[in-house]
Structure 1
Amino acid sequence: MAAEDEALVGGMVNAGAVVRRGELVERPAPRNAPALHAHLRALRARGFDAAPVPVGLTADGREQLTFLPGDVALPPFPDWAMTRSALASVGSLLRRLHDAGAAATVGPRADWSPELADPEGGPMVCHNDVCPENVVFRDGRAAALIDFDMAAPGRAVWDVAMTARYWVPMLDPGSAATLYPAGLDAVARLRILADGYGLAATDRAGLPGVIEQATEVCRAFVARRVADGNPAYLQALAERGGWERWDRVQAWLADHRTAFTTALLS
């Protein structure tokens, strides 16, 4: 790393491999970088200015993107990132992304990451990884999204469900306490996210079930990396309660499905 480079922290997949060089960010290029770069350019052409602009690919397999200034919440997540107004702004930003991307051409599924993709597919490209580390805040509001590596075609409600997992969060209180401030009301916060997004009534009714489906996909994602011996995922699994935690979360979601649905539709 050159002396003028600034290492950017956060995330697990590219931890330690992302640097800022002036107004550019350089990071490992995903295998489907051409498809992702085309999508990001299409979003910008449709007026969505809240995502990085691709600059190019280097000879050693890295990608260059424009740097987006602002604040990013890192675990354990600070109080300022978990306010109700911050949550509503995340929903609003996700809706802006979807509105801009609704008319974009969706390429063949082979061009997209299957890792966190909607199993049912869909007509639009979802981000699929709107976790706190991938949202840039300015003045207390979600202003931009980064790290589109997991993007893939899916349903809009799938992206809302994946976002809810991280931002409500959709975790039992014991699991949430590991990374989140105490006292977050998951039932009320799911409604705030849905309202911020402007989620339609038909999707609200099905959202709790889609969140359960998304949780299963995320568990399989972690299981694959643990099976491959990925040290970051092995450590995180051990520190956060192992597979018993995943069992507890999934049971908690099922037990609270009616409460979530009632709050969403009230």
Structure 2
Amino acid sequence: MTAEDEALVGGMANAGTVFRRGDVVERPAPHNARALHTYLRALREHGFDAAPAPVGLTANGREWLTYLPGDVALPPFPDWAMTRSALTSVGSLLRRLHEASAAVEIDSRAEWPADLADPEGGTMVCHNDVCPENVVFRDGRAAALIDFDLAAPGRAAWDLAMTARYWVPMLDPESAAALHPEGLDAPARLRILVDGYGLPAGSRAELPGVIEQATDACRAFVARRVAGGDQVYTRALAERGGWERWDRMQNWLVNHRQTFTAALLS
């Protein structure tokens, strides 16, 4: 790394391996980088310029992408990232992504990652990891998405459910307090996110169930990483309350399903 290089912080999987070099970001390339780069170029062709543009691949397994200026919220998440307008803008940005992605033909030959993919599949590529660390803000509003490493075909509702998990957040109060500001009203914030996205009324009643399904998928993802000896996830699991925390989150979601449904339909 040269004196001009800037290490970019955030995230777990690629921590310490992502660098900015002027207008370019160099990072580890995912195994399906060529298909993913084709997808990112197609997004721009369909009017979505709020994602990195591919620059190239290196011989040693790295990728170059355009740098997107702005602010990224890192844990513990600051108040500015949790405002009503910020949440609305996240929903709107996700809708813009989906509208462009729906027009892009899925590469059926690509090995899309299954880690957080919709188990039911879908007709468009979803981001699947729209967490605060992967949203670039400008002037207090979500302006761009980064880190498409977990992108895979799925349903719009699945991507929205995954996004809700991080941004509402769809966590029991004890779990949410570890990284988020106090006093967040989950049912009200879920409605704000969904309104920002513009989810049709006829699709809202099913969303709490999809969020529960997405939470199960996230738990299974962590379990696979821990079973495989991943020290980053093993340490995070221990520091954040172990499997008891996941049990508490899942029970809280089930017990409040009607409350969330009522908030979405009111």
Class of the TM-score when normalised by the shorter of the 2 chains? over 0.9
Q: Check conservation: 2:57, 2:64, Cα contact below 8 A.
A: yes
Return 5+ residue gaps in structure 2 as ranges.
none
The residue aligned with 1:182 is 182
Paired residues for 1:89-100 under 5 Å: 89-100=89-100
Q: Quote the Cα distance in structure 1 between the aligned partners of 2:91 and 2:12.
A: 24
Task: Return the alpha-carbon distance in structure 2 between the equivalents of residues 7 and 162 of structure 1.
Answer: 27
Other-structure match for 1:51: 51
Q: Which structure 1 segments of 5+ residues have no match?
A: none
With normalisation by structure 2, the TM-score equals: 0.99
**How far has the Cα of 1:4 moved from its partner?**
1.1
- 1:264 Cα deviation (Å)? 0.3
Q: Provide the aligned C-alpha RMSD in A.
A: 0.7
Q: Which residue of 1 aligns with 2:66?
A: 66
Residue identity in the other structure for 1:265:
L
Does structure 1 retain, via aligned residues, the 8 Å contact 2:86–2:141?
Answer: yes
Instruction: Please list the CA deviations of residues 47-75 of structure 1 after superposition, one character each: whole Å capped at 9, or x if unmatched.
Output: 11100000000111100000000000000
Partner of 1:138: 138
Residues 108-159 of structure 1: CA deviation (Å, up to 9, x unaligned): 2752111100000011100000000000000000000000000000000000
Counterpart residue number, 1:219: 219
Which residue does the alignment assign to 2:103?
103
Check whether the contact 2:5–2:20 (CA below 8 A) recurs between aligned residues. yes
Alignment partner, residue 191 of structure 2: 191
Q: Give 1:193's aligned amino acid.
A: L
Return the alpha-carbon distance in structure 1 between the equivalents of residues 113 and 178 of structure 2.
29
Please name the residue that 2:30 is paired with: 30
SS at match of 1:205: coil
Give the conservation status (yes or no) of the 8 Å contact 1:116–1:150: yes
Please identify runs of 4+ aligned residues in structure 1 that moved more than 3 A: none
Matched-pair contact (CA < 8 Å) for 2:208–2:260: yes
**Equivalent pairs: percent with the same residue?**
79
1:252–1:80 Cα change, 3 Å: same
What pairs with 1:156-171 in structure 2 (closer than 5 Å)? Answer: 156-171=156-171
- Contact residue 109 and residue 152 of structure 1 kept, 8 A: no
Query: Is contact 2:35-2:110 (8 Å) kept?
Result: no
- TM-score, with normalisation over the residues of structure 1? 0.99
Distance across 2 between alignment mates of 1:114 and 1:139: 34
* Secondary structure at 1:69 match in 2: coil
1:234 equivalent to 2:234? Answer: yes
The answer to whether 1:245 aligns with 2:242 is: no
User: Secondary structure of 1:25's match?
Assistant: strand
Distance in 1, Cα, partners of 2:183 & 2:230: 32
Q: Secondary structure at the match of 2:59?
A: coil
The number of residues matched between the two structures is 266
What SS does the corresponding residue of 1:210 show, helix, strand or coil?
helix
For residues 220-258 of structure 1, the C-alpha deviation after alignment (integer angstroms, 9 at most, x for no partner) is: 000011111111111111111000000000000000000
